[in-house]
Amino acid sequence: MKTEIRAATDDDVDRITDIFNQAIPAGDAEWTETLHTVDERLDWMRGRRASGRPVIVAEEYADDDDSDERQVVGVASYGDFRESTCREGFRFVCEHSVYVDRDAQGTGNASKLMDELESLARANGLKRMVATIDAFNVRSIAFHLRRGFVEVGRMPDIGFTFDTWRTMVLLQLDLDQPNSG
């Protein structure tokens, strides 16, 4: 299989919604107990694009490329850090998310999405990228550390989903450094 990283389109919203919703029952990525709807994810995606923020997808297809069988297997985006407040003070900082379909995890698609997301952030003049990760999500924390993110703080028991208190781990990447993924 080959992978193409490209800008998401409205036609991708069903798969994007499914990929986000896969993370909800585990409770360690999406801090909600309510599944996203297609309309909600479409509004989110259109809002990101309208604000000049990217939504990108990883799309897999057969090596021979003779087939029209393409499948979106991952999605990534970044938005303003602390969007509703302090916008001016954080104008060089973004907070990102990256999600990969459960059947495509471990195939390198998260790294490909992050490579592109970091490149887009640099091209848009951003200086720092922030990750907020549930402390139980050790795979995501390890992934980010391998990419050069550093842990800058923890917020113990700051969230509550599925009858569990959640600790948020804050990681930060200096975008002035080259991609390390």
Q: Which residue has the tokens 């952030």?
A: 121
As for how many domains the chain has, the answer is: 1
For residue 69, what pLDDT is reported?
Answer: 86
Q: With beta carbons less than 8 A apart as the criterion, state whether 56 and 19 touch.
A: no
Q: Are 74 and 110 in contact (CB under 8 A)?
A: yes
Residue 180 lies in a domain: no
Residue 179 lies inside a defined structural domain of this protein:
no
For the domain that residue 57 is a member of, what is the CATH number? 3.40.630.30
Q: What is the pLDDT of residues 38-95, one digit of tens each?
A: 999 999 999 999 999 999 999 999 877 565 789 999 999 999 887 666 678 888 999 9
Residues 36, 21: Cα–Cα separation, whole Å = 6
Q: What is the distance between the alpha carbons of residues 134 and 176, in angstroms, rounded to a whole number?
A: 26
- Which range marks the domain in which residue 96 is found? 2-174
The packing angle between helices 38-50 and 13-22, to 10°, is 110
Q: Record the pTM.
A: 0.92
173 pairs with which residues across the strands?
129
| Residue 181 located in a structural domain | no
